[in-house]
């Protein structure tokens, strides 16, 4: 059993890059396809608290329900925003990664490097061609 969990959306390039960076460290994470199996209310609250971000900071803005529900207006309580995310998991920004070193919203994907217990094992290039890790396993930026 892995000690790393990723809340993953395979249709998202940032999520795919983050998963590959985890693999590049020699880890096979537990993958939660959160659109199919969203976190519970309590799990979502814990993830937000562990990331140290606001509920609104986890909202994904460029998806259809955001506009339809009028979420750009600041008139919603945190509890209402949580309920919207549970009803429409696409509103949960991703990927969220949990490791023994912390929990992070990995946007950009390189943020995962700050919480991976093992170093990168080799070169890594993002899907868009951006080089992130050199052949020696060191971060380029």
Hey, what are 101's tokens? 């070193």
Cα–Cα distance measured from residue 122 to residue 18, given in angstroms and rounded to the nearest whole number: 15
Hey, what are 136's tokens? 């020696």
Q: How far apart are the first and last CA of the chain?
A: 32
CA nearest neighbour of 54 among 33, 38, 78, 35: 78
**DSSP-derived 3-state class of residue 116:** coil
Which position among 4, 7, 8, 12 bears the catalytic label?
12
12 an active-site residue? Answer: yes
So which residues are the catalytic ones? 12
């Amino acid at each position: 059993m892995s000690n790393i969990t990723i809340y993953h959306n395979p249709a998202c390039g940032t999520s795919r890059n983050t998963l590959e960076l985890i693999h590049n460290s020699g880890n096979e994470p537990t993958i939660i396809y959160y659109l199919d199996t969203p976190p519970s209310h309590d799990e979502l609250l814990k993830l937000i608290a562990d990331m140290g971000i606001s509920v609104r900071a986890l909202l994904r803005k460029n998806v259809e329900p955001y506009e339809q529900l009028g979420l750009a207006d600041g008139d919603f309580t945190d509890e209402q925003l949580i309920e919207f995310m549970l009803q429409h998991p696409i509103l949960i920004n991703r990927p969220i990664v949990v490791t023994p070193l912390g929990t992070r919203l990995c946007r950009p994907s390189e943020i995962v490097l700050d919480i991976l217990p093992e170093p990168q094992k080799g070169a890594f290039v993002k899907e868009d061609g951006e080089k992130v890790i050199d052949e020696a396993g060191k971060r380029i930026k």
